[in-house]
Amino acid sequence: MTTNNLNENLSNNQIKIATYYKFLQLDNLEELKELLLNTAKEMHIKGTILIGNEGVNSTICANDKDLEKYLHFLQNISPIGKLDNIKYSFADFWPFEKMKVKIKKEIVSIGFQNKENGYDVETGEYLDAKDWNELLDNPEAIVIDTRNGYEYRMGTFKNAINPKIKAFRDFPEYVEKNIKDKEKPIAIFCTGGIRCEKASTMMKQKGYKHVYQLHGGILKYFEETNEETTKWEGRCFVFDDRIAVDQDLNSAGVPEDRVIYAKGFNNNPLNKNRKTEKP
């Protein structure tokens, strides 16, 4: 799918989903929580927003008009400000039951806050879909899926390494034990890009010289590729009631997924207190 086709998808699917994150200093979190939650309810938004002193991490959904209205509020009225690289996908049902805003120490958990290291920390080099595909063709590149094992099983890039981690917090230990060569090109990816921000920061701090990350994650890659150019195999796991999306960014979960992937789904902070149903 290309970005130009996004509105065509919306004509066949009533609900539009936006995924985004941003690292920035946020203060007065309780007040911000109430502002984000109350405004979302007024605008008929559902989903989850995680906020902390280091920033925001969120997936929200609504009809197209309400969603764009809320994104305008976030970027022009709230303290969050401009959001780069928002990823969109679609569903013909509401993938979230209600709206939640949660305060977290980390907006994605790896064991340190970007705030503690400064917001201009050195990350990996961003690659768009075209450059990413070229790197995947490099036989010297080490391609690592930073996601959890149950996400990997649903779909990944060909020849990507499965770290077999149960939680993202386990990724630094995996790297330390298994990736000894710090000179080789290392390509990392995740669903929407946020895990790679912290993973690449950690790897650069540990001395890995050539770290590359898929900009905007798998979801952005799906926007920028089609059947002829994609190197993705399978579906992409998402942490809401869709369970998965296909490469056209449409809902692709099946009833059996709710049993197979229930443990990972229920343990994710975005879905706390929302249990999967048996088919």
DSSP character string of 13-65: -SEEEEEEEEE-----HHHHHHHHHHHHHHTT-EEEEEEETTEEEEEEEE-HH
The CA-based dihedral angle spanning residues 72, 76, 79, 81, taken in that order and rounded to the nearest 10 degrees: 80
Fold of the CATH domain 3-107: Alpha-Beta Plaits (3.30.70)
Of the listed ranges 12-21, 213-222, 228-237, 243-252, the least confidently predicted one is: 12-21
Cα(91)–Cα(100) distance, rounded to whole angstroms? Answer: 19
DSSP state letter for 172? H
The larger pLDDT score, comparing residue 20 to residue 1, is at 20
Residue 61 annotated as catalytic: no
Q: Report the pLDDT value the prediction gives residue 138, as an integer from 0 to 100.
A: 96
Evaluate if residue 265 carries a pLDDT over 80.
Answer: no
The residues, any chain, with a CB within 8 Å of residue 255's CB and separated by 6 or more, are 279
The residues, any chain, with a CB within 8 Å of residue 149's CB and separated by 6 or more, are 162, 163, 164, 165, 166, 264
Q: Where in the chain is the domain with CATH 3.40.250.10?
A: 114-234
Q: Report the pLDDT value the prediction gives residue 74, as an integer from 0 to 100.
A: 98
Taking residues 69-79, what's their average pLDDT? 98
Cα(204)–Cα(193) distance, rounded to whole angstroms? Answer: 16
Across the beta sheet with 99-103, what order do the strands follow?
Answer: 87-91, 15-23, 55-62, 46-52, 99-103
Identify any residues that bridge with 215 across adjacent strands, giving them in sequence order. Answer: none
- Active-site residue, from 61, 190, 196, 236: 190
CB 97: neighbour CB atoms within 10 A? 12
Q: Tell me the whole-structure pTM to 2 decimals.
A: 0.86
Q: Work out the burial of residue 215: count CB atoms within 10 Å of its CB; fewer than 13 is exposed, 13-18 middle, 19 or more buried.
A: buried
Helices (H), the chain: 6-12, 29-42, 64-76, 114-117, 129-136, 149-154, 171-178, 194-205, 217-224, 257-260, 262-267
Q: Report the pLDDT value the prediction gives residue 7, as an integer from 0 to 100.
A: 54
CATH class of 114-234: alpha beta
Cα(88)–Cα(19) distance, rounded to whole angstroms? Answer: 6
User: How far, in Å, are 23, 79, 110, 111, 149 from residue 107 at the CA level?
Assistant: 9, 16, 9, 11, 20
Q: Report the pLDDT value the prediction gives residue 278, as an integer from 0 to 100.
A: 28
CA atoms in the 13 A half-sphere facing the CB of 124: 29
Cα(54)–Cα(21) distance, rounded to whole angstroms? Answer: 11
Identify any residues that bridge with 188 across adjacent strands, giving them in sequence order. Answer: 144, 213
Identify any residues that bridge with 89 across adjacent strands, giving them in sequence order. Answer: 17
Cα(45)–Cα(105) distance, rounded to whole angstroms? Answer: 24
Assign 85 a pLDDT band (cuts: 50, 70, 90).
confident
Evaluate if residue 32 carries a pLDDT over 80.
Answer: yes
Mean pLDDT of the chain: 88
Q: Where in the chain is the domain with CATH 3.30.70.100?
A: 3-107
